Amino acid sequence: MIFKELKKVAAFAVMATAVFSGGMSWAEDKATAKEAEAMVKKGIAYIKTNGKEKGYAEITNKNGQFTAGDLYLTVWGTDGTVWAHGANEKMVGKVLIDLKDVDGKEFVRERMELAKSKPAFWADYKQTNPVSKKVEPKSMYCDHLDNATLVCGGIYK
């Protein structure tokens, strides 16, 4: 009888460890603001060194160096054209200036307006997290590749 109870306690401990370590793992997989800023700068440097064709292809590659957990890069023309997208290659080539988030915020248009007056900036909106598959608040860090192009990477809150 005591042996059966010990087995139950041991099984519960194993399950609890799995659940809690999984939760901790999820928290550790969320990117930080510093990581997003560093990846954007790394992406800009990579494009400048390797050219736009190779750089955009590498950013769009889901298994490439510019995708890590829920952090990925996007490259935008200031007219709202997507030149590279680390989470959804089907977006490449589309003009999304009128795209709205779930709250109706024209976040792409806002991003392009901010780009006119700021060298680098953060902008908030809501987006589906590719890891959790849930709509979550997101902050996007963007910096200029050139006068007509932004490289952005965001964090989910």
Strand partners, 136: 127
Q: Please compute, for residue 141, the number of CA atoms within 13 A of its CA located in the half-sphere on the CB side.
A: 20
- 38-51 core/surface letters (b: 16 or more CB in 10 A; e: else): ebbeebbebbeeee
Cβ pair 121, 114 in contact under 8 A = yes
Mean pLDDT of the chain: 86
At 36-90, the pLDDT tens digits run 999 999 999 999 999 999 999 999 999 999 999 999 999 999 999 999 999 999 9
CA dihedral over 128, 153, 60, 75, signed as positive or negative? positive
Is the model's pLDDT at 12 over the cut of 50?
no
Asked if pLDDT for residue 102 goes beyond 60, the answer is: yes
Quick one: DSSP state of residue 31? P
Q: How far is CA 6 from the centre of its chain?
A: 45
For the entire predicted model, the pTM comes to: 0.81
pLDDT of residue 149: 98
Q: Which CATH class is domain 31-156?
A: alpha beta
